[in-house]
Structure 1
Amino acid sequence: MNPFRNRHPVRPALVALGSAVLLAASVTVPSAAAAGAEEQPRSSVALDWYDTTAATIAAGGAPTQITNSRTWGVSWLAAARATRLVPAGVDRGDYQDAALASAVHDALVALVPSRTEELDAALRTTLEAVPDGPAESKGVAAGARQARLVLAAREGDGLDPASVNAPFTVPPAAPGVWQPTPPAYAPAAQYGNRLARPFLLDSPDQYRLPAPPALDSARYRADLAEVRAYGAVDSTVRTEKQTETADFWLGSSLTLYTEPLRVALARSPQSSAGRARLVALFHIALVDTQIATSDTKYAYLRWRPVTAIRAGSIDPDPAWTPLHTTPAHPDYPSGHNTYSGAAEAVLSALVGPRTAPFKLTSPTAPGVTRTYTAWSRLSQENVDARVYSGIHTRSADEAGLVLGERVATHALRNATRLFGTL
């Protein structure tokens, strides 16, 4: 029996947990259905700096996804802490806007110094709209202070690109054991993630998954047969729509989820402080999820479908080629799906499992636009996409959703460790 089948996409307890997180932070918790009826925030400073963060990372960020996730997490955690408490005698909105902008600016300048000129200009624009006075000056000072503190706390956490791709010695070839994959046969990537220091997990292996299906199991045979048929570059059973799904979700999860998170942020009726918490918690949960993903991947070292089909004992086909090039790390679990599972859990808990329709495009599927109304739909498509790409088994995909949800739930339960102390 597959322990990952029929995963309930949104557990009521998870939504309740998200409400508790936000209530503990003294902000209004809207339901997704009621969000449109709530009074909207008075300014777009959080959205402005969300877009500035996205542009900064796109233009000058690191080559490793988890490092860029860390940049999001650090800068917006500083903003969330800086906006949490408002000094007496100053305007709340002015203070929070100045604090958010100052915190994100200073953290990004430290982490992506090549974009200092653009970040300085963005800060000037924000502060020009905030009335001069104690609220502005105290907000700027609080943002700068929290940026310094968070940067210092995360120094040496092992999430820099060199540490993320720490060398890994490939074990001898054996049934089920990961080996470098064609066409490049590149060295293992992201091994160092499992050696990094998480934000909220007690250890990288805290939520390590059970072992993948045994090579002699019916589930393994079914997995392999499915990916062999639907994931081949020359598949005769994969439909045009299924190929489009594979192409659409091929790129970086960080990139593909930037717009869904922005949609949630734009539709949130929360103040700048509440919005900062949403972005910070999302990305911190995703950093920890990527750490946990690499822990499970390198604990079990399950070979990729291309190796299993070409060199395994079940109807070997040395010429079989997947639709898309296989990434250079083990199959189980799928990193795209751990990301999806965590993102779905955080968004469902903090803004509700459904939202008004929104459109999404993908840099790896030019000209394609898809419309969504539920975060779970993104996860469902990710599961199918990696099979249709020929680069993951369905067991690896479904296990990924479970791991992501577990790590995100841990982040929600322990959010006071992020925001409860200044």
Structure 2
Amino acid sequence: MNPLRTRRSALQAFGSATLLAASATVTSAAAAVADERTSSPSVLLDWYNTTAVTIAAAGAATQITNSRTWAVSWLAAARATRQVPPGVGRRDFQDAALASAVHDALVELIPSRARELDTVLGTTLDRIPDGPAKSKGAAAGAREARLVLASREGDGLDPASVNAPFTVPPAAPGVWQPTPPAYAPAVQYGNRLARPFLLDSPDQYRLPAPPAPDSARYRADLAEVRAYGAVNSTARTERQTETATFWFGSSLTLYTEPLRVAVARSQRSTPAQAALVALFHIAAVDTQIATSDTKYAYLRWRPVTAIRTGAIDPDPEWSPLHITPAHPDYPSGHNTYAGAAETVLTLSGPRTAPFELTSPTAPGVTRTYTAWSQLSQDNLDARVYSGIHTRSADEAGLVLGKRVAGHALHNAERLFDVR
């Protein structure tokens, strides 16, 4: 089965579970902006914002753990809002169910924010008229939160498990070694031991081996990083330096706003919007698991190690623009995340009305995007300009992310139809 499915087939698979019921089109640019300005308060967007703030304030140090928190909370919300009991108001039921589901999951996963979450829940429920719709919705949300939390117990995505100890192999050409300046121990090794949401196994989409260290492709990759990724590069332009710095931060943080844009501009139902949020993060978790599987299967050294100690014109003084993360080069995790994100966001169409994006690692810089693939392309280039990845690792990352996300979309019913 080819996981790189067309948008139409992905929507059909989704639609069979009523997750993308109604129109799959997005509003026009003018209509989207008008809708965001004039619509009544959106409980879904309120809780989207609350989730983002909660994780930013007190989330885990490991990105995949925070992706899991998003996935669990919004999977519960999508399931809770899907079936409205007869004889109750649909919107009131769904608003209460969504708020209750996300609240209860977040309180369990980030208990230090319970007081703030209780306040938001109280505000949401106060806006919903008392009655069966409200009470049944809140009960449905609480029930689904319990069920989803129980289903993910012991999945190996807690910070301690994610950063399970890794024994570094002896130094050899092409083999990963801790990198300067800190020479820190490897991280994210435990991802490949975790239980995915929808993948059959972490190695299901393991990539083929990277280019050999003595191959022409690898020589070209290394020459590009050497020239464009050096801290004192004269080849890299100001715009390219900005791209590297803009996309150097957490993928989870950088993609929070694009996903919100896709949700806010959608004409879909509440269950379908909640499902979009859930599947984005389910795909992100599975992609990070698959990424670590390939990284630690091949243990490809980072450019700084290859340039300083390798056989191709070694330069012991070379340093990258940005500090190299403590895990192997192939594939690029930023690009696997980008590939998965692009695949899920494209359910709303490959393009969208212009939206602005900022980055915590590039204060004062604002970029405008009109296509989800533009985010991927900037990610791909950024890791080369940062001096921390080869282009082969970046391109392979996009492929892996798209494959894993395609698998998640095709198999979504396995999660959303459970009762």
- Taking structure 2 as the reference length, the TM-score comes to 0.96
- What CA distance in whole angstroms lies between the structure 2 residues aligned with 1:294 and 1:346? 21
Please give the secondary structure, in 2, of the residue aligned with 1:355.
strand
- What CA distance in whole angstroms lies between the structure 2 residues aligned with 1:271 and 1:124? 24
Structure 1 pair 236–301 and aligned structure 2 pair: CA distance change class (3 A): same
Partner of 1:419: 416
- What letter corresponds to residue 347 of structure 1 in structure 2? L
Describe how 1:22-421 pairs up with structure 2 within 5 A: 22-26=14-18, 27-32=21-26, 43-348=41-346, 350-421=347-418
Structure 1 pair 344–131 and aligned structure 2 pair: CA distance change class (3 A): same
- What CA distance in whole angstroms lies between the structure 2 residues aligned with 1:287 and 1:103? 20
- What CA distance in whole angstroms lies between the structure 2 residues aligned with 1:418 and 1:28? 21
- What CA distance in whole angstroms lies between the structure 1 residues aligned with 2:28 and 2:344? 18
Deviations 1:130-162 (A, max 9, x none): 111000000000000000011011000000000
- What CA distance in whole angstroms lies between the structure 2 residues aligned with 1:328 and 1:271? 42
C-alpha contact 1:188 1:328 (8 A) present in aligned 2: yes
C-alpha contact 1:23 1:29 (8 A) present in aligned 2: no
Structure 1 pair 241–177 and aligned structure 2 pair: CA distance change class (3 A): same
- What CA distance in whole angstroms lies between the structure 2 residues aligned with 1:283 and 1:68? 9
- What CA distance in whole angstroms lies between the structure 2 residues aligned with 1:291 and 1:17? 25
Q: 1:31: how far off? A: 2.3
C-alpha contact 2:27 2:267 (8 A) present in aligned 1: no
RMSD, aligned α-carbons: 1.4
C-alpha contact 2:308 2:318 (8 A) present in aligned 1: yes
Please give the secondary structure, in 2, of the residue aligned with 1:215.
coil
- What CA distance in whole angstroms lies between the structure 1 residues aligned with 2:351 and 2:41? 24
Q: 1:43: how far off? A: 4.4
Partner of 2:11: 19
Partner of 1:3: none
C-alpha contact 1:157 1:197 (8 A) present in aligned 2: yes
Q: 1:417: how far off? A: 0.6
Partner of 1:5: none
Question: How many residues are treated as equivalent by the alignment?
Answer: 410
Structure 1 pair 17–29 and aligned structure 2 pair: CA distance change class (3 A): farther
Please give the secondary structure, in 2, of the residue aligned with 1:407.
helix
Q: 1:324: how far off? A: 0.2
- What letter corresponds to residue 190 of structure 1 in structure 2? Q
Q: 1:263: how far off? A: 0.4
Q: 1:35: how far off? A: 8.0
C-alpha contact 2:227 2:233 (8 A) present in aligned 1: yes
Please give the secondary structure, in 2, of the residue aligned with 1:170.
coil
Q: 1:109: how far off? A: 0.2
Deviations 1:32-77 (A, max 9, x none): 3658669967641110000000000000100000000000000000
- What letter corresponds to residue 367 of structure 1 in structure 2? G
C-alpha contact 2:25 2:266 (8 A) present in aligned 1: no
- What letter corresponds to residue 358 of structure 2 in structure 1? T
Deviations 1:199-258 (A, max 9, x none): 000000000000000112110000000000000001011000000000000000000000
- What CA distance in whole angstroms lies between the structure 2 residues aligned with 1:17 and 1:268? 19
- What CA distance in whole angstroms lies between the structure 2 residues aligned with 1:17 and 1:404? 18
C-alpha contact 2:27 2:265 (8 A) present in aligned 1: no
- Taking structure 1 as the reference length, the TM-score comes to 0.95
Structure 1 pair 121–269 and aligned structure 2 pair: CA distance change class (3 A): same
